[in-house]
Amino acid sequence: MTSDDSYRWWQDGIVYQVYARSFADADGDGVGDLAGIASRLDHPAWLGANAVWVTPFFPSPMVDGGYDVADYVGVDPAFGSLRDFDHLVGEAHARGLRVILDLVPNHTSDRHPWFVESRSSPDNPRRDWYIWRDAAADGGPPNNWISEFGGPAWTLDPGTGQFYYHAFASAQPDLNWRNPEVRHAIHDAMRFWLERGVDGFRVDVLWHLVKDEALRDNPANPDYVEGRDPPSRRLLPVYSADQPEVHEVVAEMRAVLDEYDERVLIGEIYLPVDRLVAYYGREGRGAHLPFNFHLILAPWDAREIEAVIDSYEGALPDDAWPNWVLGNHDLPRVASRIGDAQARVAAVLLLSLRGTPTLYYGEELGLRDVHVPDALVQDVRETNQPGRGLGRDPVRSPMPWDSTATGGFTTGVPWLPPGEGNLARSVAAQRDDPGSMLSLYRRLIALRHAERALAVGSYRPVPALGSILAYRRQHAERELLVCLNLAGVAGSLQLPDGFEAGRVLISAAGAAEGTEVRGHLELPGDEALVLEPLAPGGRAARER
């Protein structure tokens, strides 16, 4: 990386996640669709995003919201058609937005023709495309693995008398990635979409693809607390995920991407930092961006977040490009986790760290998790384990485009309630308000695009205490200082060398742009600033 020109779009760009069922509904059935997304692309473009990642829209019985794929190379009629898809890609590209698809290769739907064949007989040529085993000696499942959605991860198929493995719902049988035919079939599906112009994939549960060959029992998790932790955490997934052989599978997927120009491979991976970074692959032959969810997983505390950033920065292999995420369709929304004021601080953090930021739709509006009455619950993670608060519907509510009853999302009845509080945070309500969360996001993104120090510059921590987190970002001659207060009470920071005097470029809590600070910075609660240094004469060290 020597000159600016050598950065790829997925390095200095911003990814915007569109949850396909909840972005915009063009046909009035209450569920989002591809034509709806295409009609609303001006929004991510206006915001300054560079790519949209669209969650699954493939033919699916929708047991897991489309993460149960029944055909890898089609469009579910609920979402439209291949023609709608081509239109969407054309509209996105016309606005300079790349399109990233969700690839779900770990499992299919049990209605996928591959599984229908596989389960039809032990001798079927596709039997080995899935993971079939005889019962244990006691007649129970072949091992002790637990489904992420509760209960055993094995289901008995009465027709053939064997069990099949499913890391998620029983309607989502896991493919056998040790079988080369499976690999080739998924590679072909990837090529199908790449040929249609998609710019890359976000690969679902990438670290799950390969399982222990001997299917050994997972050990108990000594830290598990009944009632506090989801049942799936009772065991440590030592043998059911993150196996050494997975890296060969990732390298093969990467090779498929590399048959095309400028495509990106993003991996969904929930692992500690040291194991996560292995997914960059040997000599950079792995994922371009193994998703880094540690800002979501760590407690919202300055020292904890600082430790996350420093350990991640320290663990990245040479040439590996970092990335950061604040939310997605599986986890509570950031504003619900840390409150409205800190969600603004989090926005400054996400958009000033070194590494590609991914925004979850509605984060830019400060959306909160919605209350979903029992009668409207959709998510299999909830219906399989009711009453434990594990459902993900609350974070998947329809995008509020305006503040009318259905938020301008649909002319019909929305599949999930938009949530009154969220309607008040609609795009229309915030767009022209300079103090809104939406305006803050847009200004932060514009600043990141204008300042190479933020987009691609180096990262250097600045010692800070208490609730203050600070770091420098530098590119060529230009260096900026980021100071964030991760609590509601004031804190202070001795401005570091080179920033004895600084000027505010952007503020989370409303300090005026251009405000000058000197020597000792008193940072009010919930404030976050990006500062440029002032030369001794008081002028900006280098005008932008």
DSSP string, 285-317: -S-SEE---HHHHS-S-HHHHHHHHHHHHHHPP
**Minimum CB distance to ligand NOJ smaller for 67 or for 441:** 67
Sign of the C-alpha dihedral computed for residues 306, 307, 310 and 312 taken in this order: negative
Cα–Cα distance between 288 and 265 in angstroms, integer?
A: 5
Distances (CA, A) of 201 to 6, 206, 209, 333: 21, 11, 15, 23
Active-site entry in 102, 204, 479, 532: 204
Q: Is 175 in the site for ligand NOJ (CB under 6 A)?
A: no
**Minimum CB distance to ligand NOJ smaller for 157 or for 204:** 204
Cα–Cα distance between 407 and 400 in angstroms, integer?
A: 4
Distances (CA, A) of 396 to 60, 228, 494: 18, 23, 42
Q: Provide, rounded to whole angstroms, the least separation between the CB of residue 64 and ligand NOJ.
A: 5
Q: Which of 101, 103, 203, 205 binds ligand NOJ (CB under 6 A)?
A: 205
**Minimum CB distance to ligand NOJ smaller for 190 or for 481:** 190
Cα–Cα distance between 131 and 224 in angstroms, integer?
A: 28
CB 508 within 8 A of CB 346: no
Q: Which of 145, 154, 168, 177 binds ligand NOJ (CB under 6 A)?
A: 168
Q: Provide, rounded to whole angstroms, the least separation between the CB of residue 154 and ligand NOJ.
A: 17
Q: Which three-class secondary structure state does DSSP give residue 328?
A: coil
Q: Provide, rounded to whole angstroms, the least separation between the CB of residue 88 and ligand NOJ.
A: 21
**Minimum CB distance to ligand NOJ smaller for 31 or for 531:** 31
DSSP 174: B
Q: Provide, rounded to whole angstroms, the least separation between the CB of residue 80 and ligand NOJ.
A: 21
| Percentages of the chain per state (helix, strand, coil), in multiples of 5 | 30, 20, 50
Cα–Cα distance between 506 and 490 in angstroms, integer?
A: 18
Residues contacting ligand NOJ: total by CB under 6 A:
9
**Minimum CB distance to ligand NOJ smaller for 354 or for 381:** 381
Catalytic status, residue 527: no
Per-residue binder mask for ligand NOJ (CB under 6 A), 255-274, x = binder: -------------x------
Per-residue binder mask for ligand NOJ (CB under 6 A), 59-78, x = binder: -----x--x-----------
Cα–Cα distance between 182 and 252 in angstroms, integer?
A: 12
Q: Which of 91, 110, 204, 363 binds ligand NOJ (CB under 6 A)?
A: 204
Neighbours of 518 (CB within 10 A): 12
Q: Which of 49, 99, 104, 198 binds ligand NOJ (CB under 6 A)?
A: 104
Q: What residue is closest to ligand NOJ based on CB?
A: 67
Please give the backbone phi and psi of residue 357, each rounded to the nearest 5 degrees, phi first.
-85, 140
**Minimum CB distance to ligand NOJ smaller for 205 or for 278:** 205
Active-site entry in 259, 433, 516, 522: 259
- Within positions 319 to 338, which residues make up the interface with ligand NOJ, using CB under 6 A? 329-330
Binding site for ligand NOJ (CB under 6 A): 64, 67, 104, 168, 204-205, 268, 329-330
- Give me the active site residues, please: 204, 259
